[in-house]
Amino acid sequence: MTQLDQSALNARNYLLALFLLLCVLDTALVIIAKDKWAIGRILFTIAVMYFVIQGQKWAKWLLVGICSLLVVVLIAMVLALSSKLSTILMIGSLMMVILSTVIPIYMISNKDLNRYFSYKRQA
């Protein structure tokens, strides 16, 4: 493949939009919770996403792992601390669970996105 088609670029843009939404939501929840240590986690995840967009397989699987761990931790947190969390933090955490589930499924299953990753690895 010498040139990317529009469907592969659209798949990449959709992934970036999902990831941007996740980062904005995560940042908002960190600000609300006043958890300054979580900023490092957010920056690390952004760095990994950069390498995902460059087509690095290790980064793709690392991001899948990060999202999977995030799902488990957020569900455990909501269940364990439901009486101590504000409604905004609970709803935001559940929205992050949904996004953290959708992103890896999309990265693994979308054929156009996988074609984009293959193109980036060949370039």
| Domains of the chain by residue range | 6-122
Interatomic CA distance for residues 79 and 86, integer angstroms: 13
- H helices of 1-123, in order, are 6-33, 38-53, 57-81, 87-109, 111-122
Q: Supply the pLDDT for residue 102.
A: 97
Whether this model's pTM surpasses 0.85 = yes
Reading the block at residue 82, the tokens are 């439901």
Show pLDDT as tens, one digit a residue, over the chain (123 residues): 457 789 999 999 999 999 999 999 999 999 988 888 888 989 999 999 999 999 999 999 999 999 999 999 999 989 998 888 888 989 999 999 999 999 999 999 999 999 999 999 887
Contacts of the segment 28-37: beta carbons below 8 A, 24+ positions apart: 28/92, 29/89, 29/92, 29/93, 29/96, 32/86, 32/88, 32/89, 32/92, 33/89
Residues in the chain: 123
Q: Supply the pLDDT for residue 1.
A: 46
Interatomic CA distance for residues 15 and 106, integer angstroms: 8
Return the biggest CA–CA distance within the chain. 55
